[in-house]
Amino acid sequence: AQSVTQPDIHITVSEGASLELRCNYSYGATPYLFWYVQSPGQGLQLLLKYFSGDTLVQGIKGFEAEFKRSQSSFNLRKPSVHWSDAAEYFCAVGARNAGNMLTFGGGTRLMVKP
């Protein structure tokens, strides 16, 4: 079974600073990988996804993530954080042989200082 670990429960960065949110997964083959963002009391919005091909994927809102097979990681990055980026971020893995069932990491809450 697949699993996802987001080591950082909370992260605080200053507005304009760079951001990296960590995600490690466990899966026997190449998984589908996703990053979602959730604002308080809201559903989830897809930021980006990796299925195959280029290991550096670009997403919405200026986010990008890099799939590193050797490290079983899919870290999310943004060069300059905006106050509106404050939210909960979830990394998720989907098994290629299990339909579209996703397993989510525990989430990282991002706070942005002015």
Partner 1 sequence: GAVVSQHPSWVICKSGTSVKIECRSLDFQATTMFWYRQFPKQSLMLMATSNEGSKATYEQGVEKDKFLINHASLTLSTLTVTSAHPEDSSFYICSADSPWATGELFFGEGSRLTVL
Residue count, binding to partner 1 (CB under 8 A) = 23
Q: Does 111 participate in binding partner 1 (rule CB under 8 A)?
A: no
Determine which residue in the list 11, 15, 62, 104 makes contact with partner 1, applying CB under 8 A.
104
3-state secondary structure of 47: strand
Q: To 5 degrees, how large is the angle CA 31–CA 54–CA 80?
A: 100
In one-letter notation, the amino acid at residue 75 is N
Specify the residue, 13 or 32, whose C-beta has the smaller distance to partner 1. Answer: 32
- Contact status, residue 10 vs residue 111, Cβ threshold 8 Å: yes
Q: Does 94 participate in binding partner 1 (rule CB under 8 A)?
A: yes
Q: Does 7 participate in binding partner 1 (rule CB under 8 A)?
A: no
Query: From CA 29, how far away is CA 93, in angstroms rounded?
Result: 11
Q: Does 101 participate in binding partner 1 (rule CB under 8 A)?
A: yes
Q: Does 67 participate in binding partner 1 (rule CB under 8 A)?
A: no
